[in-house]
Amino acid sequence: MSARDKIFNALINNRDDYISGGQMAADFGISRNAVWKNVKSLQEQGYVIEAVTNKGYRLVKCPDILSPELIKKELNPALSGPDIEVRAEVTSTNTVLKETASLHPDKDYLLVAGRQTMGRGRLGRKFYSPDGDGVYFSLLLHPKLTGAESQYLTTAIAAAVAKAIEKVCGFNAVIKWVNDIFVNGKKVCGILTEAVIDFETAGLEYAIVGTGINITTPKDGYPDEIKDVAGALYEHGKAIPGVRNSLVAATINYFYEYYEKLAEKPFLEEYKKRSFLIGESVKVIGNIAAPDDYYEARVLDIDNDLRLVIETPDGGIKTLMTGEVSIRKI
């Protein structure tokens, strides 16, 4: 851990008290001048740190910035989680991790961004990722899973994000099979999982689980093509400070609870409990390019293999695989 991280942790862990520069210098084996320089660098990042002669330093306010320190601070201390990097802007957190996966051959790696210029969604769609209104993060993992089991990563992160939204923001977050998170009838989060298979072992070489959460509605609203579906957790400018760091941390905490035993599907109960399509009438669209070509059905369940169990109007029972169809609630 860098001296800056140590000083930051000391300040944040003693938020109500002053810590003397001399104490931190002795604890971290650096000079008082080095303490001061690191405090100054934190102040330049927007942290309000009071410096009082004969008392020391006190953290008064954290800025609403995305920061690896603030994410780490809220991670479960028992977690041997990912290394974390935060960038203000990337093309796509999934794309950047794919390009740099070889730099992290063993360790999990979390890349978080405040903006994506080329955010990607499922089925080749774009994912609208404007600055300041969302948080976009991808987790690089090296799971011991078969290709078929890799879909559990998506389901596990969907359950984890929904729980995180509820814990951090207090909203009821529900899941639209297979991986969209809705709050108050609008899609507030999308998930894109990409995996590279090792052909020799038929297992995964690595997987990248990408999550985009809409935190606030953009100032000028959503683009026409998504405005009927997309929503955000808060109105523009009304998010609680620090919510982006807290949501990333809570999602990671919940995800790793599942990840340890992923093949046993520990997320299934939570996922089904939050799946709002169960019991609903839906349109089943076989070809996204022809959305008017659909049939109606009632969703009976999500089975243990994460397939949607539906009843067709003639009383027939079908199971649908993820990626096979598009489902619209009637």
Choose, by CB under 6 A, the member of 81, 114, 212, 231 that binds ligand BTN.
Answer: 212
Choose, by CB under 6 A, the member of 4, 120, 176, 272 that binds ligand BTN.
Answer: 120
Longest dimension (CA), the chain: 81
Is 57 among the residues that bind ligand BTN (CB under 6 A)?
A: no
Choose, by CB under 6 A, the member of 38, 67, 94, 154 that binds ligand BTN.
Answer: 94
Choose, by CB under 6 A, the member of 125, 265, 283, 307 that binds ligand BTN.
Answer: 125
Per rule CB under 6 A, count of chain residues that contact ligand BTN:
19
**Any residues with CB less than 8 A from the CB of 295 and at least 6 apart, and which?**
283, 284, 312, 313
Is 121 among the residues that bind ligand BTN (CB under 6 A)?
A: yes
Answer whether 113's CB lies under 8 Å from 89's CB.
Answer: yes
Under DSSP, the state recorded for 235 is -
Choose, by CB under 6 A, the member of 56, 114, 210, 231 that binds ligand BTN.
Answer: 210
Is 177 among the residues that bind ligand BTN (CB under 6 A)?
A: no
Shortest approach of ligand BTN to residue 202 CB, angstroms? 26
Q: By C-beta, is 22 or 185 nearer to ligand BTN?
A: 185
Is 115 among the residues that bind ligand BTN (CB under 6 A)?
A: no
The gap from C-alpha 165 to its chain's centroid, in whole angstroms, comes to 10
Choose, by CB under 6 A, the member of 58, 98, 122, 298 that binds ligand BTN.
Answer: 122
Is 119 among the residues that bind ligand BTN (CB under 6 A)?
A: yes
Nearest to 294 by CA among 273, 271, 320, 259: 320
Q: Phi and psi at residue 290, in whole multiples of 5°? A: -130, 70
Nearest to 252 by CA among 45, 79, 57: 79
Nearest to 161 by CA among 312, 70, 274, 62: 274
Shortest approach of ligand BTN to residue 161 CB, angstroms? 11
Answer whether 201's CB lies under 8 Å from 145's CB.
Answer: no
Choose, by CB under 6 A, the member of 38, 116, 154, 253 that binds ligand BTN.
Answer: 116
The gap from C-alpha 159 to its chain's centroid, in whole angstroms, comes to 11
Q: By C-beta, is 11 or 188 nearer to ligand BTN?
A: 188
- For 82, the 3-state DSSP assignment is coil
Is 209 among the residues that bind ligand BTN (CB under 6 A)?
A: no
**Any residues with CB less than 8 A from the CB of 67 and at least 6 apart, and which?**
45, 86, 245
Nearest residue to the partner ligand BTN, using Cβ:
190
Q: Which two tokens stand for residue 268?
A: 């299934």
Contact positions toward ligand BTN, by CB under 6 A? Answer: 92-94, 116, 119-122, 125, 127, 136, 138, 180, 190-192, 210-212
